[in-house]
Structure 1
Amino acid sequence: MHITTQNMRTIAWSALVLSTRAQYVIENLSFGHKEGQPISPNLRGIPHFAANGDGYIPEILSDRAFLTPPYPGSKRGSLWCEDPLHHKGDWTAELSFRVSGMERGGGNLQIWYTKDSQKDYVPNSLYTAHKFDGLVLVIDQYDGRGGSVRGFLNDGTIDIKASPDPDTLSFGQCSYAYRNLGRLSVIKLHQANGIFEVTVDGNSCFRTDKVKLPEGYYFGLTASSAENPDSFEVHKFVVSTTNANTREEPNKQHPGQQQQRPPIPPPIQKPRHPKGSVEETHQLLKDVLAGSIKSQQDQFADLHNRIQIINHAVDSIYDLLERLETDNTDRYNNLMNRIVPMDDRTNAMLRNVEKVERINMDIQRDLESKDFKEMLNQVHNAIRDTHAGLSASLPAAMTHIVGTEKHSLTTFLFIAVAVQIMVVGAYMAYKKRRNNAPKKYL
């Protein structure tokens, strides 16, 4: 495989274009997004999230958290971020969850974005929450539907739970049958360029340009089950933003405090290793706020450094591909050299097979050509002569045996007389014993 310099440049510019719209995960507001790593290091809690419940504390496993258990019902559970969101204007919150339960199970799941965190309170749903300031997205089977997703806004003055028809207070909704799907459901909340949109499994649920959520609010996940319970399990919650902001949360500035512009950090270059070694050349550049780079000279310097990083990374990939191609070629040649010619063994095996086939053909021809009628007649005659001999000699032999081994008549008479004498003697003894026995009178 050969990659030209022109292809390398194309890849580099493509990576640069894609990086301008790349999404960076905000680590302290997310969990479950790192493959091969558990969401909890000790299975007792999720970093940067507070778990709470009513009669039940959410069960946290290595890859999921159960906000409500499969049994019993009427339980509540919650997970609240301990840090607020400091990004405004462009962010995405993605939740991967699954709901399972009996045929007529019930319950609801809420995604909160509120001014005040509720991590220290009993988990609430839309129908039990007090007046809150922010957004709540509700997934439930309201009004007997098969499932729906509804969004509600509150400025802290509306008591939604007291409304006779909360559905009229939602600013957006769509139908979604979320129960017992056997797979994960994915809901995304995205705010960018003055548009707020909610998507479900990649399909748009609702969107509006009249909602702009402020920064400094807290994310939360709450769930409650009915008497016939549904189990709400959360697998991933990821909050991300574009590279217009830093990958990590910036420090919140106090009102009136002037934010100082950080200097453009120079790229930190690691020593170049010899070509063909496992180590590669990398350059590290610290992330900075895009708004902190004011002058064109600083912007050009930052862009120049990042393009150099991409070029070095592409060169490293090219070297790695070359080494892989060389290693694969050498391995193929070694395997081909180790293969022993099999012509002699193959010829010997073919000769043995032909020999066996010839023997089988000879046996088949003998069986088909010979007449076995004469042989069968001989066997029949031998059996008939044996039967005739036995019929002729057997009576004489039996007569001889009976005549020589039989008992005389005198012996039988003696045995009969002896038996009768014994019977008479026994009877007389019985009578004598009976007569000598004492008399019994009533």
Structure 2
Amino acid sequence: MMKTFASLALLAVGATSQIIESSSFGTGKTVAQSEWTAEFQFRASGPERAGGILQLWYTKDGQARIGTSSIYTAGPFDGFALVVDTHGGRGGSVRGFLNDGTTDYKSHNSPDALAFGHCDYSYRNLGRPSVFKIKHTNSILEVTIDGQPCFSTNKVALPAGNTFGITAATPENPDSFEVFKFVVESATSQGSPQGVPPVVNQQQNQAPPQPQLHDPPMAPTSDVSMAGLAAQIVDLGGRLQLSNKASSTIIQEMKNQAAKGDSRHAELLKTLITKDQFNALDNRLAHIEQLMTTIVRDLGDRDYSSRFNQLHDTLRSSHVSLSENLQGHLLNVITASSPRMGFFLFLVIAFQVLLVITYVIYKRRRASMPKKFL
């Protein structure tokens, strides 16, 4: 039989979330082998705009250092974290994070930039469990989802002696995370995995408790089962309440649409013409049709060719007379408006004579003026 090292389940009862080690499957608190394979099955469901984040941890002293923290609120942990959320707005994302205990994710400016591997995976409202498998050997760290590879690397070596844990966090509009199975198997053993933890729901995120240095108490199987059943009942009640609220909203919207439809129908009836108006319009159209028929009949029975010939002759004679009269009138206007040449020559000669007389008078006056000698 294949040996199971650890089986952990996330338990949510009311408003409290914590990591619990299941004594039904665990044979130790840490993973002693350096080569192992972990299988994790969960299902996430919720309303359209709900959200949440689920983390699978393989860290040293995870209960004391991490507690119920998320990847964004965790301190300087030492180990590996697999994060499932809706980062990037692509419907779902799976990312891997590493830390050697020197990086404080809680105070880091951009924890998302610290991911060393990722892939897109739409995990919400699938109606079936999603199967995650993490394989770690001395040569590779590989993550597969539903049998398809997500990411892998040969540059990561995780030490033995760490512990597994699962935490989740949700906003005000939460997703429900149901964990169906989590087992860790030796990569060199043969056989089938053992142990399936109870179905678990996560409704909302709470502040993590203070880290404890002592080992957590072992929870009995019956307590875990009852707590899981209570969480399922709470989750079912919340879903029924959301369904009732959505149904009420739909009914109210249908009533509003019905009222709008009635008002539009009344307005349409007001804009339609009455029977009397329709009859009057029909009579007018019949009268217009009768007039058009009469005009067509008159045009077809009479011959207007002689009238058109007479009009053509009249236009031609008018054109000839207009051309002759216009030509003579233009000639008379040009002749009457042109200046007379004799008058123009008289003006030129008179101007020349006036200049000569003026020059002679000027010379005589200058000659008669007394001369001054220096």
Q: TM-score, normalised by structure 2?
A: 0.46
RCO greater where, 1 or 2, for CA within 8 Å and sep 6 or more? Answer: 2
Q: TM-score, normalised by structure 1?
A: 0.39
Structure exhibiting the larger radius of gyration computed from Cα positions: 2
